[in-house]
Amino acid sequence: MKRIVVLVLCMLMMLAVACSTPSTPSPTQPAEKPSAKPAETAGTSDEPIVINLFGVPTTIPETDPVIPELESRLGIELNIESTGGDESLLVARLAGGDIPDVFRVTTISNLSAYYKDGVLLNLKDYMDEMPNVRDMFTEQQWARVTFNGGIYGIPRRPEENYNCWYIRKDWLDALGKEDPATFDELLDIAVAMSKADLDGNGKNDTYAISGTYGPAVSTFGRGAFEGFWTAYGVTNPETIMIKDNAAVLSVTLPEFRKSIEEIRRFVEAGVVDPEIIANNSDSLLEKMATGKAGIAYGAWSNYNKIEQIKTLTSVFPDAEWVPMRKQITTEYGVSGATKSASGNDAVYAINADLVDQPEKLDAVFNMFNYMATEEGDLLLSFGIEGEHYEIDSNGTVKKLEKMNELTYGWGIQFLGRPDMLYCMTKFDNCADVIEYAANEVKVYYHYGQLVEQPEGINVSDIESYILEQVSQFIYGTRSMNEWDSFIDTLYSAYSVQTYVDAANETLKELGYIK
């Protein structure tokens, strides 16, 4: 666990910088928002108020300058504990009665459970204490953290789409082929890549298509196969989507079965990596770098950052991994990306017991409200002005070299970030790919994160069962003749109709279903 303690001496040294305000307006937020209270009003004593913040998904190094700067500006001390995104550690804390002041919750289903346990502060009557936060999010974004009229979490801003098909362009050129526009063309390319020994090692060891699959890649879809089922107009198998103005479980649709039959055609042709289920991001990059794959579906943030490009060209310096610029189409849809309609699934919640510590509660509100100002947003998104970034005469944020050191910065963007500006600024080496994924790849939305888990239904069990069974159908360990039996089991043993009914009710209330 990571514990950050800022010394009083460090705070005094930084005070002069902390009290200043950038003179150039930032394009990240509307101008003239109410500011957070100044540091001297955060508490009534000379000692900074200590706020325990639990569940940050990344490790913050001892050398981090951003959190100390935030503490100095607000006159607080943040004890931050990282969990790497493992919410079981939070569950253990809550079960033991050791409730952090502020904590990260990864799903709305979990937030709903904590609400029912009575550990969350109802923020409805405190929104005027955080006007910047209140105004940052839409009515629908607030609705996803609302239960029985009360507000029990602080949302985070959504991110753009990062996902698309990637292909070895140098291999494509060597084969004299162009980006595929149909699955027949993709299969033709995949077979050619598998047989042509393009890595030159004299071995038949190239499976053209590789990727990742399963709960571990939930942030960026289902990896290897997302480009298949989106082409059939459906989202990830375990997700709720809207079809014909009604909520449905994607895997139960006939179009989803067709997408699995399409994937089976590629598996039977011997062009799909048999280890996709076991792959992680590191093992996938190694396969892509060593000529074991020539096609992969995934995020630019997994393949296009400078350090990843170095890995992907470490064995074959002339390797060119680029997005496919054509989208594969079927009569049902066009290959694209899936994305949660909730925007950013993780939220932050506040301990209900802080009502008995009004000074600390006020400091927590002031902290979040400051994060939603232009100044606070710039700090958490880009670092310290003059050290990590500068603002030019046009009001544009410009990256300085030291911004590259903030590799963990995404984990301390507690309210999210102005995503397009952030990505285009920090990862300027792949700006064209960022724009392509955000603007030209069709996005198919799913809605399960907006649905409160019905009483007696374990959504995690439903999702795990679906992912496990779908992988068996993909690789042929379960016959497609058993597909109908699989769907029947979902309804009889897992009561998915109850889940779908709850989804229809919620999505009507939120205005997604008319």
What's 78's domain CATH number?
A: 3.40.190.10
What token pair was written down for 394? 């046009």
Domains of the chain: total: 2
Provide the residue type at 167 as one letter. Answer: I
Query: Is the residue at 61 inside a domain?
Result: yes
Domain match, 386 and 480 both: no
- Taking residue 268's Cβ as centre, other Cβ atoms within 10 Å add up to 10
Domain match, 170 and 298 both: yes
Terminal CA-CA length for the chain: 46
Query: Is the residue at 224 inside a domain?
Result: yes
Domain match, 97 and 71 both: yes
Query: Is the residue at 115 inside a domain?
Result: yes
What is residue 182's DSSP assignment? Answer: S
Are 84 and 411 within 8 A, CB to CB? Answer: no
Q: How distant, in Å, are the alpha carbons of 169, 278, 365 from that of 206?
A: 16, 17, 55
Q: How far apart are CA 334 and CA 35, in angstroms?
A: 45
Are 433 and 324 within 8 A, CB to CB? Answer: no
In sequence order, what are the beta bridge partners of 397?
Answer: 391
- The per-residue pLDDT for 220 is 39
- The per-residue pLDDT for 68 is 98
Domain match, 214 and 108 both: no
Query: Is the residue at 437 inside a domain?
Result: no
Domain match, 351 and 466 both: no
Query: Is the residue at 108 inside a domain?
Result: yes
Are 511 and 141 within 8 A, CB to CB? Answer: no
Domain-terminating residue out of 415, 431, 452: 415
CA 73 to chain centre: 29
Domain of residue 59, residue span:
8-159+344-415
Domain match, 240 and 170 both: yes
Query: Is the residue at 279 inside a domain?
Result: yes
Are 452 and 502 within 8 A, CB to CB? Answer: yes
What token pair was written down for 11? 């705070």
Lay out the sheet containing 321-323: strands in order across.
209-210, 295-299, 163-168, 321-323
- The per-residue pLDDT for 144 is 84
Nearest by Cα to 441 from 290, 136, 221, 114: 221
SS3 state of residue 464: helix
Name the strand (E) or helix (H) holding 486.
helix 483-493
Query: Is the residue at 423 inside a domain?
Result: no
Q: pLDDT tens digits, the chain, 514 residues: what are they?
A: 334 333 333 333 333 333 333 333 333 333 344 455 544 444 445 789 999 999 999 999 999 999 999 999 999 999 999 999 899 999 999 999 999 999 999 888 789 889 999 999 999 999 999 999 999 999 888 988 999 999 999 999 999 999 999 999 999 999 999 999 999 999 999 999 999 999 999 998 999 999 998 655 443 345 789 999 999 999 999 999 999 999 999 999 999 999 999 999 999 999 999 999 999 889 999 999 999 999 999 999 999 999 999 999 999 999 999 999 999 999 999 999 999 887 767 899 999 999 999 999 999 999 999 999 999 999 999 999 999 999 999 999 999 999 999 999 999 999 999 999 999 999 999 999 999 999 999 999 999 888 888 889 998 899 999 999 999 999 999 999 999 999 999 999 999 999 999 999 989 988 899 9
Domain match, 302 and 330 both: yes
Are 41 and 359 within 8 A, CB to CB? Answer: no
Domain match, 215 and 325 both: yes
- The per-residue pLDDT for 51 is 98
Domain match, 223 and 301 both: yes
Are 419 and 160 within 8 A, CB to CB? Answer: yes
What token pair was written down for 319? 């390797």
Helix 358-371 with 374-382: angle, nearest 10 deg: 80
Nearest by Cα to 1 from 67, 54, 69, 70: 54
In sequence order, what are the beta bridge partners of 248?
Answer: 241
Q: How far apart are CA 145 and CA 123, in angstroms?
A: 10
pTM, entire model: 0.83
Query: Is the residue at 430 inside a domain?
Result: no
- The per-residue pLDDT for 163 is 93
- The per-residue pLDDT for 45 is 57
Nearest by Cα to 314 from 294, 286, 280: 286
Domain match, 105 and 20 both: yes
Domain match, 248 and 392 both: no
Domain match, 294 and 360 both: no
- The per-residue pLDDT for 140 is 83
239: left (phi over 0), alpha (psi -120 to 50) or beta: beta
Beta strand pairing call for 337-340 and 443-446 = parallel
- The per-residue pLDDT for 222 is 54
Are 396 and 418 within 8 A, CB to CB? Answer: no
